[in-house]
Each structure stands twice: as C-alpha cells, then as structure tokens.
Amino acid sequence: MPLWISITIAAALFQNIRTTMQQKIRHVLSVDGANFVRYLYGAPLALGMLAFLVFATGREIPSLSPTFFALVTLAGVAQIVATSLMIHSFSLRNYAVGTVYSKTETVFVALYATFLASEPLKFGAWIGILVCLSGVAILSVRGSFANIRNVIADLTHKGALYGILSGLFFAVAAGTIREASKHEHSGDFMVRGITVLACMNTIQIVIMAAYLAIRDRPQLGKVRHNWRSSIWVGIFSVLGSAGWALAMTLENAALVRAVGQIELVFTFIASHLVLKERPSVGEWIGSLLVVGGVVLVLIVR
C-alpha cells in the first residue's frame, strides 16, 4: 500500500475526532471561538514537530519563496473561512445537512486539480468520487433514504448554502497546500509537509487573534478559560492537518481528499461500537458505497 494512503486514513480518523470535539465546545464558545482553538493549540504542536525534524533528525527547513508564503497564507485563510462556514451550517440546519454539503469539497478539489493545478483525474476516479459522495450523503442521514430527499430539497436553505461554500473553501485550502508543498524544492516529504503546516497554522493564529480582538474580544477570555477541553481540539486538529499536508505532499490533493471520505465510515463504526446501536440497511449501503468509491479511485488513479 502506498504510504500516502495510510497517512490519509489516519488523517481522516483524527479529523473525525476533532470535528466531534469541536461540536461539543460550541455550547461555551462562538463559531469563531471554536474555530480559533483549532489553530491556537495546534500551531505550537506543528512548530514542535518541525523543531524535532530539524534538531533531532538533522533535516533542514526547505528554502521558502515569497510564492510559498502567498500560497500558505491563501490556504490558511481559506481553511479559516471553510471551518467557520461549516460550523455555521451545523447551527443553521443540522449536522447531517452541513456534513453532506461540506463533503462536496471532493468534487471542488477534483475540479481544482484538473483545471488549475494541471493534475487531471481519470474518468474512473471521477466516478469513484461521486460514488463516495453518495455514500457520505447516506451515512450523514443515518441511512434514511427519505431524509436524503429532504437534504436535497433543502438545497436553497442557508445552512445548505453555507455547507457548499465550506466545501468550496476547503477545496481551495487543499489545492493551495498541495501547490505550496510543490514550491519547496528541497527536503523530503515529511519536512516539506510539516513546514507547510507550521507556517500555515502560525499565520492562522495571527489572523484569528486579530479578528477576535477587534470583533469579539470576550471570546479570547473564554478560549483561555476553557483550555482543558479546547486543547484536545488543537491536538487532534494538528494530527489530522499534519496527515493531510504530508499526504498532499506525496499525491494529488483530489485523490487524497477522495480517500479521506473514509472519515464518515469511522463515524458509522464508532457510533455502533460505542452506543451498541444496530446498523440500518441504509447505513451498510452508505458504508459500502464510500469504501467502494475509495477502492475505485485507488484502482484507476
């Protein structure tokens, strides 16, 4: 199995845990506050990873150009906007609708890779992405086909529109992370991927801290007060982000994000292992579609 696949699966698992934890702290933090903790506690860990690679393993930080910093800044801003839109979509409609529409990211990333990054996908990979998206939609509504119709019917609802926009901005973030890693002309994939992450997270802290200081200063105090629960969001966020950055350094961002849809299968498995619920036929079908779509993407890539 190629290394990028294993890294992507791990990143999807960590992202699943982070999203769940981020939802749990929404009762004490605003949308922007919940978004901020992802970077506040994640950036020091990313910088620590980079320091370890440099000082403990003898690797060197790649030469970084102005273009690299422009791409990393764009990726960081896009990720901030995407995360806020996704959390907004959860609160405006519900978790299922927000999840389904935010996962349109895979289609947007594929379009980005094909028309902007000159990394076109084969026809079979496109089919695999659409199959994955179908499975994600089914799993997001817990296997209820009737609810899928309701989700699609809610396309014009503000929550759905926010979800689609979050998918678009997540795609911009993924594509520019891939481009930034390609602009580093030295070092192995690990130091290049972690360098992208450390720079991006540091820029995100500065942007979000300045924004909150101007628009919602009390949130800074709440973030500090609730550090015990918030820090875990940062830890799993940086683990997931490190996985995505490393995988996108190795492979086309569209393929990475397509395989990353396995995240919803983790949600399905965890809910039934922890809550001892009996899976519905629809959930089994959704899981098989996600896995089948991922396998198809990998076969034809």
pLDDT of residue 37: 85
| CA 43 to centroid of chain Cα atoms | 16
Tell me, rounded to whole angstroms, the distance of Cα 201 from its chain centroid: 14
Q: What is the mean pLDDT of residues 279-284?
A: 73
**Does 229 have pLDDT greater than 90?**
no
8 Å CB contact between 195 and 83 = no
**Residue 74 pLDDT class (50, 70, 90 cuts):** very high
Average pLDDT over residues 50-60: 91
Judged against a pLDDT cut of 60, whether residue 275 lies above it is answered with no
Distance between CA atoms of 104 and 130, rounded to whole angstroms?
Answer: 9
Asked whether the predicted pLDDT for residue 188 surpasses 60, the reply is yes
pTM of the model as a whole: 0.85
For residue 206, the model assigns a pLDDT of 94
Of residues 199 and 58, the one with the higher pLDDT is 199
Average pLDDT of the segment spanning 254-269: 82
Helix (H, G, I), strand (E, B) or coil at 245: helix
pLDDT score, position 68: 93
Distance, CA of 253 to CA of 244 (rounded, Å): 9
Q: Give CA–CA dist 143/279, Å, rounded.
A: 9
